[in-house]
Amino acid sequence: MRKYPGPWELYDIETDRTEMNDLAAQHPDRVSDMTEQYQAWAKRCGVIPREKILELMKAEGGTAFWEEEKQK
């Protein structure tokens, strides 16, 4: 899981199901490889970047649901 807009995180879900121990710093090559895989998947599937969604929502006078939660 990624705490946007922070760096990518890496967890061993088998031993750390609550995601308390971020292993990204210990495995930078793995994080880099997984990031590249995600970017390729996102491009192939037409994932709209978060920034673009916020820009579109703002242009229409609205906010994304996750932005509304931060304002409360």
* Higher pLDDT among residues 64 and 51, named by residue: 51
Residue type, 12: D
- pTM value is 0.69
DSSP conformation class of 17: T
pLDDT per residue as tens digits for the range 8-53 = 999 999 999 999 999 999 999 999 999 999 999 999 999 998 888 8
DSSP conformation class of 49: P
